[in-house]
């Protein structure tokens, strides 16, 4: 069965510091991988996605993620964090179900940014 692990429940970084959020997945085939962000009281917004090809993908708000098949990882990075990045981040893998895909989510990582 497909699964996603986000090892860090909470992460605190200083504004301007770099950020890496970890994500490991389990999936038998080539995965579709996603990072979503959820601000308090809001829905989920897609940050970036990996389907195939270049293993380093760029997203919105200055985020990037690197797909490493050998490590079954899809870590999210940002070189310099802004206070507005404080939110909860979810990694997800797209799994085939019937004629379509469903998303299997990790438990999320809450990012706190200190000034």
- Using the minimum distance from each CB to other proteins, give the nearer residue, 55 or 101: 101
Stretch that binds other proteins, among 12-20, 32-40, 65-73, 74-82 (CB under 8 A): 32-40
How many Å apart are CA 100 and CA 77, to the nearest integer?
29
In sequence order, what are the residues at sequence separation of 6 or more whose Cβ sits closer than 8 angstroms to the Cβ of residue 10? Answer: 109, 110, 112
| CA-wise closest residue to 33 among 4, 13, 62, 6 | 4
For 60, list phi and psi in degrees, rounded to 5.
Answer: -80, 165
Q: Chain centroid to CA 19: how far?
A: 12
Task: Tokens 């301007």: give the residue.
Answer: 16
- Using the minimum distance from each CB to other proteins, give the nearer residue, 52 or 115: 52
97 binds other proteins (CB under 8 A): yes
Stretch that binds other proteins, among 21-29, 53-61, 65-73, 100-108 (CB under 8 A): 100-108
105 binds other proteins (CB under 8 A): yes
26 binds other proteins (CB under 8 A): no
59 binds other proteins (CB under 8 A): no
Interacting residues with other proteins (CB under 8 A): 4, 9, 32, 34, 36, 42-46, 49, 51, 90, 94, 97-103, 105-108
């Amino acid at each position: 069965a497909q699964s996603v692990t986000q090892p860090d429940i909470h992460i605190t970084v200083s504004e301007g510091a770099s950020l890496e959020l970890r994500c490991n997945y389990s999936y038998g085939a080539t995965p579709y991988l996603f990072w979503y962000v959820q601000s308090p009281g809001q829905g989920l917004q897609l940050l970036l996605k990996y389907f195939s090809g270049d293993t380093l993908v760029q997203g919105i708000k200055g985020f990037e993620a690197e797909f490493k098949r050998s490590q079954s990882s899809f870590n999210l990075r940002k070189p310099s964090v802004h206070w507005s990045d404080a939110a909860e981040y979810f990694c997800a893998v797209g799994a085939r179900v019937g004629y379509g895909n469903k998303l299997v989510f990790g438990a999320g990582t809450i990012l706190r940014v200190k000034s």
